Structure 1
Amino acid sequence: MTAAHKVKTRPILPRCMQVIERGWLSCNSIVFQEDRHAVMIDSGYGNEAAETLALLDRAILGKPLTRLLNTHCHSDHIGGNAALQKKYRVHTTVPIGEAPIIERWDDEELLLTYADQAAQRFAVDATLAPGDVVRLGNLDWQVLAAPGHDHHALIFFSPDERIVITGDALWENDFGVVFPALRGD
Structure 2
Amino acid sequence: MLNIQRIVCNMFQENCYIVSDDTKECVIIDCGAFYEEEKKEITNYIRDNQLIPKHLLCTHAHIDHNFGNYAICKEFGLKPEVCINDKILMHKLKEQAYTFIGLTYNEEIPEVEKYLKEADTISFGTHCFSILQTPGHTPGSVLFYCKDESIAFSGDTLFRMSIGRTDFEFGSYNEIINSLKKIASSLPAETIILPGHGDKTTLKDEITYNPYFK
Same fold (TM over 0.5): yes
The correspondence for 1:25, drawn from 12, 21, 24, is: 12
Q: Assess if the C-alpha contact under 8 Å between 1:70 and 1:93 holds in 2.
A: yes
Q: TM-score, normalised by structure 2?
A: 0.66
Structure 1 residues 86 and 135, CA, compared in 2 at 3 Å: closer, same or farther?
A: same
2:154 maps to 1:166: yes
Query: What amino acid maps onto 1:81 in structure 2?
Result: N
Task: Please report how far the alpha carbon of residue 123 of structure 1 lies from its aligned counterpart in structure 2 after TM superposition.
Answer: 1.4
Structure 1: any 5+ residue segments left out of the alignment?
1-13
Query: What amino acid maps onto 1:151 in structure 2?
Result: P
Equivalent residue, structure 2, for 1:37: 25
Structure 1 residues 158 and 62, CA, compared in 2 at 3 Å: closer, same or farther?
A: closer
2:36 maps to 1:55: no
Q: How does 1:98-177 map to 2 (within 5 A)?
A: 98-102=86-90, 105-107=91-93, 111-116=96-101, 117=103, 118=105, 120-136=108-124, 138-177=126-165
| Distance in structure 2 (CA, Å) of the matches to 1:171 and 1:135 | 25
Structure 1 residues 174 and 65, CA, compared in 2 at 3 Å: closer, same or farther?
A: same
SS in structure 1 at match of 2:100:
coil
Structure 1 residues 16 and 113, CA, compared in 2 at 3 Å: closer, same or farther?
A: same
Task: Please report how far the alpha carbon of residue 136 of structure 1 lies from its aligned counterpart in structure 2 after TM superposition.
Answer: 4.1
Q: Post-superposition, which runs of at least 4 consecutive aligned residues in structure 1 deviate over 4 A?
A: 182-185
Rg larger in 1 or in 2?
1
| Distance in structure 1 (CA, Å) of the matches to 2:139 and 2:153 | 17
SS in structure 2 at match of 1:62:
coil
SS in structure 1 at match of 2:65:
helix
Query: What amino acid maps onto 2:57 in structure 1?
Result: L
Residue-pair matches, total: 166
Q: CA RMSD in A?
A: 2.6
| Distance in structure 2 (CA, Å) of the matches to 1:18 and 1:97 | 28
